[in-house]
Structure 1
Amino acid sequence: MSVVTITPAVHGLRGTFTVPGDKSIAHRALLLGAIARGPTVVHGFASGADNRATLAACESLGVAVTARDGALHIDGRGWDGLRAPATTLDCRNSGTTMRLLAGMLAGRPFVSRLDGDASLRRRPMRRVLEPLARMGASIIAEGADGRAPLRVEGRPLRGATHVLPIASAQVKSALLLAGLQASGTTTVEEPASSRDHTERMLAEFGTRLTRGPRAVTLAGPQELRGANVRLPGDFSSAAFLIVAALLVPGSELRLTDVGVNPTRTGLLDVLAAMGASVLVEPEVGNGTEPRATLIVRSVPLRAARIGGELLLRAIDEFPILCVAAACAAGRSELRDAAELRAKESDRIAVMAETLARLGAHVEELPDGLTIEGPTRFAGGLVDSHGDHRIAMAAAIAALVATAPVTISDADCADVSFPGFYDLLAKAGGQ
């Protein structure tokens, strides 16, 4: 466990930076490359802990992955190239790894066991196990109340129509992976649009599918072909630098090659409602994911009320959005985020605790927070609870505090943003 102390910024943040490759898209590139026939090359892979868990799982399933020339090379042998793992697949702290593997392995003719750390064992898995069971999957939750470890007893699957009660890209992706190896048609309908990285990448790998506004359909079984994938910078990582530049007076940051998939960029719309103007300069790139250079300058923020589908599009950015709200003038309300109570930490409760420790006026609600601003943060000790997004949000708050902020278990930031503290220092944060 590491401890990092961040001192208040003494001048504006400046410079041009590239954030690590997108974590969510990297998971999908690895798994689709593993089941595709032919070579797949993944450029821009960031070796955060979550992505390393997925990479290790692929190797344990008999897939050869090598790093050379700045890229990952996956020797895909198709569905039949997967082999029964000799040991339990350790998903570490990655819910994406566990849920997507559950769908991918549900139709394979062998038994697999998926496990993770204590945090992952506390997170709900029934939301993905129940719809997979309707496709004929046999997955036994060995933990209490439908939680990990999971024993996946592979068997033939049949297509099904799923109407999800809650929009979830992870559940949707697991069902599509199962549908690729099932007999018949699989449809996934959601009440709101979740991130669509899986659908976009399936098309890159040659999958035939049909997309509607909130539904996707594919017929199985299908075999994928290898692809050349260039990962954009992770918008959720860029979010911390965006808010930092808005809050620290005299700042101007340029963030290049950032993924700006519209299902992910709700934060930009939220910040616009708070008075910010982030300049988005589209870039021409390979693949199906839009990308852009983002130019951010400091500006005073005003309070906003955020919920519904807009909050869903900024769900991973909730911790740093809370920091922005605490610095904005007025009373902000962030609602419809109840699912965050079952992340790496209870992000609603932990952000309420973090902001209060730093002197903000905050009220915890069942599905979010109300936050009074503007706050001049005090210094002190913040517990990250081992949650990468909490640690990085606290680091940004420290830049506009009146005294240094010490963050416990700070190296958890490496889960999604390897080198975060070094990049922050280069930009002018201490």
Structure 2
Amino acid sequence: MIAVQTKQVTGEIRAIPSKSYAHRALICAALADGPSTVRLARSSVDIDTTAQTLRQLGADIQKDATGFQILPVRHTDDTPLLDCAESGSTLRFLLPVAMALKDRARFTGRGRLPARPLSPLLEEMEKKGCVFSGKKLPLTVTGRLAKGSFLLPGDISSQYISGLLLAAPLLGETEVRLTSGLESAGYVLITTEVMQDFGVKTVRTEHGYTVPGGQHYRARDYAVEGDWSNAAFFLVAGALGGAIRLRGLKADSVQGDRAILDVLRAYGARVDTEDGILVQRDAARPIRVDLRQMPDALPILSVLAASARGESVFYGGARLRLKESDRLYTSAQMIRNLGGDAEETEDGLLVRGTGKLTGGTTSSFGDHRLAMASAIASLLCDEPVRIEEPEAVNKSYPAFFSDFQQLGGHYV
């Protein structure tokens, strides 16, 4: 447990590399036609997990201070054991990729990952030649994945769609047809952008996506862009007081969490994008946020909502119950633990802000985003914020508390 007590943070830091881009770039590089470099100054547990599972598939991956050096997967007849740890992206991306390469593979994981759903990806893979030993981890999968048309809803997990797209060049012409509207569309855009960067074209169609046959990933030197998702914590900190400037973020990024700037403007913060991204406090208004395209922002946006007098409404986030924690429950519980008023709805959250919180003891619930949101919430509190399991930040942002301290944050 740590205790955080901070009234204001201010200053400038560089955004960490995007975990979403790093996962995809490592996979494309491991499937490419020669040696590649994936450049990122900082890694995380989840990124390292994807690198390790690719090693288990037969890639030679070396990590140094600048990123990863990758020699592509060597084709062997072994049965790899792919330990996905707690990374949902690793598991859902590598299931189709591994079975496009192997006749048999084993998958395992820990934390909440074994409880997180794999349907309907599992059933679609079964229709194309794979046999699963069960419905959840640990799993043994046999049978090579075949090309064809895959039918998936767009409102359960975009990772299913991305996994099949990433595997497509290994299969031949592949179609992913969507049976409902696509949520978290930005994550699929990241996938198709990285695939394009590595030489594979994806066609957006009326009903989904097609990857034409006869393509292969081409080796390259690839620099991972900054992460809007994790930058959101410090951008909100700027809106709560002081002035925070983030560098290393692409203003025209396809990352869905770039929409945090629109939310901050609606809240009343001053946002300047001329020289990095600068956010400063100004007004503080209640917000109304559709979570369908930026679900991961809920924990930190619930803190923002608590700082504005009045009721803020979050909706369209039913899928958040299936994350590293049930983020509708844990976000509401965090606000209540710290003296605020928050109520779960079926697919969202109501936060009745008073302009401040009290402080007290809360938990990360083993969820990296709850740990970081709780620390930023200390800016609204008179009493210290005590956070159980703060090490959860290592999943995506191991240096979070170091950066927090650099900006003037205090914790013991």
Match of 1:285 in 2: none
Name the TM-score, length of structure 1 as normaliser. 0.89
Where has structure 1 moved over 6 Å in runs of 4 or more? none
Match of 1:177 in 2: 166
Whether the aligned pair in 2 keeps the contact of 1:31 and 1:58 (CA below 8 Å) is yes
Match of 1:301 in 2: 284
Match of 2:81 in 1: 88
Say whether 1:412 aligns with 2:392: yes
Distance 1:301 1:141 in 2: 52
- The one-letter amino acid of 1:26's match is A
Match of 2:345 in 1: 365
Match of 2:248 in 1: 257
Moved more, 50-59 or 187-196: 187-196
Distance 2:381 2:315 in 1: 26
Tell me the secondary structure at the aligned position of residue 118 of structure 1.
Answer: coil
Distance 1:72 1:98 in 2: 20
Render the CA deviation track for 1:22-58: whole Å, top value 9, x for unaligned.
1011111111111111111111153211111111111
Match of 1:232 in 2: 225
Moved more, 14-23 or 124-133: 124-133
Render the CA deviation track for 1:348-376: whole Å, top value 9, x for unaligned.
00111111111111111111111111242
Distance 1:277 1:314 in 2: 21
Distance 1:386 1:375 in 2: 27
Tell me the secondary structure at the aligned position of residue 333 of structure 2.
Answer: helix
Q: Give the counterpart of 2:321 among 341, 346, 363.
A: 341
Match of 2:37 in 1: 41
Match of 1:158 in 2: 147
Inter-CA distance 392–214: structure 2 relative to 1 (3 Å threshold) = farther
Distance 1:101 1:281 in 2: 39
Q: Give the counterpart of 2:216 among 208, 213, 223.
A: 223
Q: Give the counterpart of 1:326 among 268, 290, 306.
A: 306
Distance 2:157 2:289 in 1: 19
Whether the aligned pair in 2 keeps the contact of 1:105 and 1:154 (CA below 8 Å) is no
Tell me the secondary structure at the aligned position of residue 42 of structure 1.
Answer: strand
The gaps in structure 2 that reach 5 residues or longer are none
Distance 1:318 1:87 in 2: 36
Deviation at 1:109, TM superposition (A): 3.2
Match of 1:62 in 2: 58
Aligned length: 404
Render the CA deviation track for 1:274-301: whole Å, top value 9, x for unaligned.
222322238xxxxxxxxxx211112232
Deviation at 1:259, TM superposition (A): 4.0
Whether the aligned pair in 2 keeps the contact of 1:105 and 1:152 (CA below 8 Å) is no
Inter-CA distance 389–114: structure 2 relative to 1 (3 Å threshold) = same
Match of 1:7 in 2: 5
Q: Give the counterpart of 1:191 among 170, 175, 181.
A: 181
Q: Percent identity?
A: 32
The gaps in structure 1 that reach 5 residues or longer are 283-292
Inter-CA distance 349–85: structure 2 relative to 1 (3 Å threshold) = farther
Moved more, 45-54 or 314-323: 45-54
Deviation at 1:76, TM superposition (A): 1.9
Deviation at 1:156, TM superposition (A): 4.6
Inter-CA distance 69–322: structure 2 relative to 1 (3 Å threshold) = closer
Deviation at 1:139, TM superposition (A): 4.3
Inter-CA distance 57–420: structure 2 relative to 1 (3 Å threshold) = same
Inter-CA distance 69–421: structure 2 relative to 1 (3 Å threshold) = closer
Inter-CA distance 61–299: structure 2 relative to 1 (3 Å threshold) = same
Distance 1:162 1:87 in 2: 28
Tell me the secondary structure at the aligned position of residue 356 of structure 2.
Answer: coil
Q: Give the counterpart of 1:168 among 157, 168, 185.
A: 157
Name the TM-score, length of structure 2 as normaliser. 0.92
Match of 1:377 in 2: 357
Whether the aligned pair in 2 keeps the contact of 1:138 and 1:152 (CA below 8 Å) is yes
CA-atom RMSD, angstroms?
2.0
